[in-house]
Amino acid sequence: MFFSSALIILAGACYALLFAWSKVNSKRFIKLLAHLSYFVLVIAVVELTQAANFSGYWLLVSIIMVIGYFFAPISIWHLCVKTHDDHTITTRGGD
């Protein structure tokens, strides 16, 4: 359980990092690596779920976690783009 839990954290971090990197540097290889990291994350969650004998509520938590790990980097990217892409802000001279 320890190793699959650690792999979930590492694969989730790699997915988020590679997803953001694929947005900055539009190479398909980086995006493929991001999706590969997410696939490793899903496998690790399945292994953790089986090792811990999750059922009922905890199985639902695992499913929500996998969905959240997928959409969180996408949402954070869109939030960053929308908050940092405002070029209408002007500064006064001397302020």
Q: Which of 68, 83, 85 is nearest to 16 (CA)?
A: 68
pLDDT digit string (tens) for the chain, length 95 residues: 999 999 999 999 999 999 999 988 888 999 999 999 999 999 999 999 999 998 899 999 999 999 999 999 989 988 888 887 665 555 454 44
Structure tokens of 93?
């001279």
At 87 the pLDDT is 58
Q: What's this model's pTM, rounded to 2 decimal places?
A: 0.79
Range 82-93 burial, b when 16+ CB lie within 10 A, else e: eeeeeeeeeeee
- State the Cα–Cα distance between residues 79 and 62, nearest whole angstrom: 25
CA 26 to chain CA mean position, Å: 17
Give the DSSP H or E segment for 73: helix 57-84
Q: Which two tokens stand for residue 55?
A: 């059922």
